[in-house]
Chains A and B, each alone.
Chain A
Amino acid sequence: MAIDRAEVLHVARLARLALSEEEIEPMARELSAVLDHVARIAELDLEGVAPSTHVIEVTGALRPDEPVPSFPREVILEHAPEVDGEGFLVPSPQA
């Protein structure tokens, strides 16, 4: 499965990841090598096999929907790169 430059840039955009010019070619090569390996699962006959998201059965994970106090706002804002005292500050989506 060869991944080309255009595909790398498309996936990087989906992943919200900037790549420098010199990172693109090695990424294409390394992803292709790994995908070649994982593509071996295409050989297996998996007709009628159910997919697993979780292998240990969990029951009764529900709990009453009761509000409980969370962290105070100032404790959470303390760790952010930029805040205005009320919330997180970010650059405009359209500069």
Chain B
Amino acid sequence: MSADDLLALTAAQAAEASARGELARDELFELYRERAFADRAAGAAGLNCFTWVAEDVPAGAGGAERAPLGGVPLAVKDLFCTRGVPSQSGSRILEGYLPPYTAHAVERLADAGAPLLAKTNQDEFAMGSSTENSAFGPSLNPWDRERVPGGSSGGSAAAVAAGLAPWALGTDTGGSIRQPAALCGVVGLKPTYGAVSRYGMIAFASSLDQAGPLTRDVRDCALLLAHMVGRDPCDATSLEPREEIALPSAEDLEGIRFGVPEELAAEGIEDGVLASFRASLERARELGAEVHDVHLPHAPHALSAYYVLAPAEASSNLARFDGVRYGLRVDGRDLLDMYTRTRHDGFGREVKRRIMLGTYALSSGYYDAYYGRAQRVRTKIADDFREAFELVDFIVTPTAPSVAFRLGEKTADPLAMYLNDYCTVPMSLAGIPAISIPCGLSEGLPVGFQIAGPAFSENRLFEVAHALEGSFEFDGAQARV
């Protein structure tokens, strides 16, 4: 096969070609390795998707072609620990850190035949919606290099969109897989909380963090997820799957009821995004779906609750970065001085802001007013979804309120940046699965369509996403470099 033919294959198609013996050993890995390496070598002239690219096919990946994932190489967000490979969650404070172990999800995927191709750029500790808060500098959107790829899994989304990686892993705490998938025109899934082990993910907010796939299409997404899910003794919140993840094949939506929550699909959404969303609902109707109005009355408060809960958990999780056991140390006159200087120099601006916010919300005198209340709002949001799912099968919304914005446009205003998560945070707080698929263009830039279902509905989510994808006929090839 020619390089162009190989590049045109989805990951699932490549795995199938590999199983039929149509690919030479390591052929796909070498092709993508060269492309990823070229982006890295191009520096400012590239997309800056990667923080590290493999020199060679990883040892032990020799038989990967015969494994279920066919040797199709995988790009992995920097915050997944990978043995002997730099893993610093986009932060200066973990400079030089080479983990002694590999994250559960990455190990499972490598065993299933998806060897590690590269580590991808991200917002520091996954805090951000633009991949501009990175010690490695910003990643760029392949659709328009003056714009951000979204975040925090922006490097993974941009790499898949640009054809620099066949598929990628990201993590989603409040939208960090779905929003960059939307802004880059790829598919991104946040699984049910607990579906995938968090072992080896450098933690941001542990009650919300979930690993998930970023892929070219819905089938690739299902194929990758199928080999990630499962209970892991190293993560007590991970769960036994209720059913095996299957590859979707649905082409219509007969009998499917979609609910559109007015709270997340009207006010605050850019006109072009809303127009594309409404046209997508029309496609859904043509495929046989019923579209109903539903209400999630507490959803408008989700962002407020999230920006208490996530920073609170982060302030606790990030206490471990103190210059004692790994990463950066800045000398001080005594122990406390060493801690505070190390953290001052090692953390970027947004991370400091969130640590301060979380520490404040947990501090004596404020705990009940902020953290306690936010936890109660979370209960109400989960209740809202439960009630809505008694009336409809899925909730659908635009994934992000806008298309990709310009670099630097929102860095000076934290609240404007946080509003990117408006449509994705409610599902995160409720722990339910949600997928973003590209549904069209507005101003020449991709728009994402978000579909959320009840806990453990991933298989049904893939089926409806697959049917919609066929009808949207989104052409992602134009973003490939």
The judgment on whether A and B are partners is yes
Known A37-B415, A40-B304; 8 more pairs at CB < 8 Å: A8-B356, A18-B344, A34-B414, A56-B194, A63-B233, A71-B100, A79-B325, A81-B329
* B299 within 8 A of partner (CB): no
Chain B: which residue is nearest A3 at the CB level? B360
Is the beta-carbon distance between B341 and A38 smaller than 8 angstroms? Answer: no
* B207 within 8 A of partner (CB): yes
Q: Which among B132-140, B276-284, B315-323 touches the partner chain? A: B315-323
A27 to B193, CA, bound (A): 33
Is the beta-carbon distance between A91 and B193 smaller than 8 angstroms? Answer: no
Select one of B298, B315, B370 contacting A44, CB under 8 A: B298
Within 8 A of B (CB), among A47-95: 49-56, 58, 61, 63, 71, 75-76, 78-82, 88, 90-95
**Interface bracket on B:** 35 or more
A12 to B368, CA, bound (A): 20
Contacts of A30 in B (CB 8 A): 353, 414
Is the beta-carbon distance between B375 and A16 smaller than 8 angstroms? Answer: no
Is the beta-carbon distance between B430 and A55 smaller than 8 angstroms? Answer: yes
Is the beta-carbon distance between B301 and A41 smaller than 8 angstroms? Answer: yes
Task: Say whether chain A's binding surface is mostly helix, strand, loop, or mixed.
Answer: loop
Is the beta-carbon distance between B207 and A54 smaller than 8 angstroms? Answer: yes
Chain B: which residue is nearest A72 at the CB level? B100
Is the beta-carbon distance between B237 and A54 smaller than 8 angstroms? Answer: yes
Is the beta-carbon distance between A11 and B360 smaller than 8 angstroms? Answer: yes
Is the beta-carbon distance between B301 and A44 smaller than 8 angstroms? Answer: yes
A35 to B303, CA, bound (A): 12
Is the beta-carbon distance between B414 and A55 smaller than 8 angstroms? Answer: no
Contacts of A51 in B (CB 8 A): 372, 375-376, 378-379
A7 to B53, CA, bound (A): 44
* A6 within 8 A of partner (CB): no
* B339 within 8 A of partner (CB): yes
A70 to B448, CA, bound (A): 44
Cβ contacts A to B, 29 pairs, < 8 Å? A11-B359, A16-B322, A17-B356, A18-B341, A27-B353, A30-B414, A31-B353, A35-B357, A37-B304, A37-B415, A37-B418, A38-B304, A39-B304, A41-B301, A41-B305, A41-B377, A44-B377, A44-B380, A46-B380, A49-B376, A51-B372, A58-B194, A61-B237, A79-B97, A79-B98, A79-B325, A79-B326, A81-B324, A94-B334
Contacts of B357 in A (CB 8 A): 31, 34-35
Is the beta-carbon distance between B431 and A56 smaller than 8 angstroms? Answer: yes
Known: A58-B236, A79-B100, A90-B338. A41 touches B431 (CB 8 A): no
Known: A17-B343, A44-B377. A11 touches B363 (CB 8 A): yes
Is the beta-carbon distance between B376 and A50 smaller than 8 angstroms? Answer: yes
Known: A44-B377, A79-B100, A90-B338. A37 touches B323 (CB 8 A): no
**7 interchain residue pairs of minimum CB distance:** A51-B375, A81-B329, A55-B431, A95-B334, A18-B340, A18-B344, A38-B304
| Per-residue contact bits, chain B 60-101, to A (CB 8 Å; 1 contact, 0 not) | 000000000000000000000000000000000000011011
* B335 within 8 A of partner (CB): yes
Contacts of B286 in A (CB 8 A): none
